[in-house]
Amino acid sequence: MAKVATLRQILVVTDGCSNVGISPIAAATLAREQGITVNVIGVVDRNELGEQGEQEIREMAQAGGGLSDIVYPAQLAQTVQMLTRKAMTRTIQNVVSQELKEILGDSKLETLTPEKRMQVAGLVDDLGEKSGLEVVMLVDTSASMKAKLNAVQQAIYDFSISLRSRRGTSRMAVCTFPGKQRHLEVRIPWTNQVEKAYELTNALTMSGITPTGPAITEAIALFDHVELPDHLADRYRLEDKPPRKDHRDQDGYLQDHVF
C-alpha cells in the first residue's frame, strides 16, 4: 500500500489577471508534470475580480491539478488551510485508488465491504497526517494587492502554525511577484518557522505588472529534485538557489496526477 511520501504544492494568492510572460495555465501545467500541485486563491474586495480573472484562477488550478477559491480578505487564512488540506487528501486518494486498482483488478472499490471501505478512508487520513508537505506560497504584490497584504500576512502566520501541528515533516517558503530583479522574489526561504511573516511588507516592490506565469515557473525551481526544461531554464533560473541534492532517488515524492 502507499507509503509515506512528500507532497509538493504551490499556492498562488492573487487578485487579478496576469499580463506578463508565459501563460499561467501553461506554467501550472508544467508544475503538475513535475509532481507539484498548484492551488489558487483569488482575494477580492466588493466583487472587483472580473470574469476574465475568475476564469484564469479556475483554469490555473485545474491545469495544476489543484483547487481554487475566490474569497474576501477576512476569509483568506481559513481558506489557505482548507485548500491545502483538501488538495493533499485528493492527491493521496488518487494514489491509494490507483494502488487498489492494481490489487483489485477489474473489481470496483465500491464492491469492498463497508468495513474495508472504512479502512481505506482511514488509510487516506493517516497518510495525510504523516506525509511530508512542502508549500511555496506565491503572493501577488501588484499595486491593487496593497490593501490586502495584512490579511495575507495573517494567513501565512496561521498556516505556519497549522504546519507545525502536523505529524509529518512540513516546510514552506514565501515568495512575492513581481520581484526587483526577477519575476519572483524569495521573501522567506524554506523553513518550518515562519514567525517573520509579519515582515512581508518590508521593502516590497508594488507594481502594475502581474507576471503570474513566470513566477510559477520560477517557483518550480525552488523544489529539490526538480529541473526546469532546457528551453525555460535559462529564462527562469534562480541564480542564488542553493546546490541541488542528488537527483537519482525521487521515489519519496508523490506525482499529483489524476488516475
Q: What is the pLDDT of residue 13?
A: 94
CB 95 within 8 A of CB 251: no
Query: Full-prediction pTM beyond 0.85?
Result: no
Q: What is the pLDDT of residue 89?
A: 81
**Contact status, residue 228 vs residue 216, Cβ threshold 8 Å:** no
Which three-class secondary structure state does DSSP give residue 12? strand
SS3 for 95-162 is HHHHHHHHHHCCCCHHHCCHHHHHHHHHHHHHHHHHCEEEEEEEEECEHHHHHHHHHHHHHHHHHHHH
**Range with top average pLDDT, 55-59, 107-111, 119-123, 221-225:** 55-59
Residue 11 or residue 95, greater confidence: 11
pLDDT tens digit sequence for 159-215: 888 888 887 888 899 999 988 778 888 988 888 776 666 666 666 667 778 899 999
Q: Note the pLDDT tens digit of each residue in 2-30.
A: 455 788 999 999 987 888 889 999 999 99
Q: Which domains does the chain have, with CATH numbers?
A: 6-236 (3.40.50.410)
User: Hey, what's the cell of 110?
Assistant: 465500491
Residue 172, phi then psi, degrees to nearest 5 = -140, 160
Cα(73)–Cα(153) distance, rounded to whole angstroms? 11
In percent, the amount of the chain with pLDDT more than 90 equals 29
